Amino acid sequence: MTTTTKSSKAGTEALYRRLADVPWWMVIILIVGAITGYSVLTRTEYQDVIRFVFGLPWNKEVIAQAERQEDGTWEFKSSSLAPGDYRLYGEFLDETGESVGRTETHLLQVPKEVEKVFIKPLPSPPATAIEEKTAALIQEATATAGEQVEEILFYDDLTFLGTLRKIWRSNGVFLTIKITLLAFSAALVTGLIFGLGRVASQNPDLSVGLGRRLLIGLGMTVALIAFQWILKRPTGGLRVSTPILILLGVEAIFFLLPALPYTISTIYVEVIRGIPLLVIILYMGFVITPQLRDATDGQLNLQGLPAATIGLAFGYGAYLAEVYRAGIESIHRGQMEAARSLGMSYFQAMRYVILPQAIRRILPPLGNDFIAMLKDSSLIAVIALPDLLQMGRLQISRTFRAFPGYNTVALMYLVMTFFLSLIVRVIERRMAIVE
């Protein structure tokens, strides 16, 4: 009994010590956040904005609707359904938009590779699945709809996996999270490539391996000339360049090849960091994307999510390249010398010795850049992507309530960044290097 009492006291004291270590500013933020969250979640105008920017509801999707006409008839509007299984039901709405009832759920199976036909009205739902050779929902029985019903919305009651897919494809908050994850992953790879180029030799000895490089350049020149000749022969295309110019250009590139990694990486970092990220996104969305689409006759279309992802990744890659460079240069040169003395090549030493130590040191800065990208992802609204900010603006344009709209958007960003900041703090503590 005494041992149990002592252990409980020790656990209580440990809990008190942990609570005492919580920063005062975090306590204030939590209190203010709780009060703000309660105020937001209990007011209708804020609830409407939250529901809109989250793409709620997630468990059902409107796929058709029917409206009562002045003569008492019903006009059905629907879109084609892809092959698959659907759990459909109709919800009756009165003239005020309030629900006054619903039909039972029908299981509809749409087979693959079938023609579009009309679904016959269903006076009563059968117990078994309804299998129709159709890819379009057109009608549902309206016998149960009373005169007070002005509209019927047909929902697909999604399964668990279908709900997850809908969440991943939804706009607003989840589009912001998705594009941040995709763009930051691409920026990590881009930054690593150009970061390695930034730590390469600025003035390498061009004579080392010169003969081998020139022979490779000569072989590539012959291949390019042969490829150009094959393309020109059947089509009679325009003359682009002479073999001599091709030879000189390729050989010049291979002659300067050891100096190109540092030069190209430095140009990329200095130029991109000098251009605002908004300009890069606009350039990608309205200059590069249309040019690629026109040049490929629509085969390569990066409009929308791909353009925004590439723009964010390309812009942040320059900043992450400097983070990688700083992390690599923070490792003592003796580490590289020791690895080379063991017989490792430069790339082996960088992969197995330098980069593991450097990445451990740069994890906190990378976390801060991830938070910064999450906030800067709001810039994709300028190319009409329905992210969190754009969905908030759409809701404001519908309701003309700017105050709750922008307050909700700001609160959503604050919650996400605050949560990520806590994760970064934990990473900093666990990855701290004791000198």
What digits encode the pLDDT tens for the residues 358-411? 988 898 899 999 999 999 999 999 998 999 999 999 999 998 989 989 989 998
Question: Quick one: pLDDT band at residue 18, thresholds 50, 70, 90?
Answer: low
Peptide bond into 57 cis (omega under 30): yes
For residue range 242-277, what is the model confidence (pLDDT) as tens digits? 677 777 777 777 777 778 889 999 999 999 999 999
| pLDDT for res 175 | 94
Question: Quick one: pLDDT band at residue 317, thresholds 50, 70, 90?
Answer: very high
Tell whether the model's pLDDT for residue 294 goes beyond 90: no
| pLDDT for res 133 | 53
| pLDDT for res 435 | 52
The enclosing H or E element of 33 equals: helix 24-41
Q: Quick one: tokens of 74?
A: 């019903």
Ramachandran region of residue 209, left (φ > 0), alpha (ψ -120 to 50) or beta?
left
| pLDDT for res 321 | 95
| Count of C-beta atoms within a 10 Å radius of residue 246 | 17
| pLDDT for res 235 | 47
Cα 432 to Cα 435: distance, rounded to the nearest angstrom: 9
Question: Quick one: pLDDT band at residue 140, thresholds 50, 70, 90?
Answer: very low
Amino acid at the residue 320: L
DSSP structural state of residue 256: S
pTM of the predicted model as reported, rounded to 2 decimal places: 0.79
For residue range 23-44, what is the model confidence (pLDDT) as tens digits? 666 677 778 777 777 777 788 8
Tell whether the model's pLDDT for residue 193 goes beyond 90: yes
Could you give the percent of the chain with pLDDT greater than 70? 79
| pLDDT for res 141 | 45
Residue 214 sits at φ, ψ, to 5 deg, of: -65, -35
Cα 184 to Cα 191: distance, rounded to the nearest angstrom: 10
Question: Quick one: pLDDT band at residue 2, thresholds 50, 70, 90?
Answer: low
For residue range 143-178, what is the model confidence (pLDDT) as tens digits? 455 666 778 787 888 878 888 888 888 899 999 999
Cα 414 to Cα 435: distance, rounded to the nearest angstrom: 35
Tell whether the model's pLDDT for residue 238 goes beyond 50: no
Angle between helices 355-376 and 402-430 (to 10 degrees): 170
Could you tell me which residues come within 8 angstroms of residue 275 by beta carbon, excluding any fewer than 6 positions away? 315
Mean pLDDT of the chain: 80
| pLDDT for res 40 | 73
Cα 342 to Cα 364: distance, rounded to the nearest angstrom: 31
Cα 343 to Cα 44: distance, rounded to the nearest angstrom: 69
Q: Quick one: tokens of 112?
A: 């693959």
Query: Of 146, 103, 143, whose CA–CA distance to 126 is shortest?
Result: 103
Tell whether the model's pLDDT for residue 130 goes beyond 80: no
Tell whether the model's pLDDT for residue 280 goes beyond 60: yes
Could you tell me which residues come within 8 angstroms of residue 150 by beta carbon, excluding any fewer than 6 positions away? 67, 68, 93, 94, 95
Cα 177 to Cα 378: distance, rounded to the nearest angstrom: 11
For residue range 66-88, what is the model confidence (pLDDT) as tens digits? 777 776 666 767 666 777 777 88
Query: Of 61, 107, 104, 101, whose CA–CA distance to 86 is shortest?
Result: 107
Instruction: Quickly tell me which residue has 């092959």 as its tokens.
Output: 83
Cα 28 to Cα 204: distance, rounded to the nearest angstrom: 56
As a whole number, mean pLDDT of residues 113-127 equals 54
Instruction: Quickly tell me which residue has 């379009």 as its tokens.
Output: 136
| pLDDT for res 14 | 66
Tell whether the model's pLDDT for residue 208 goes beyond 50: yes
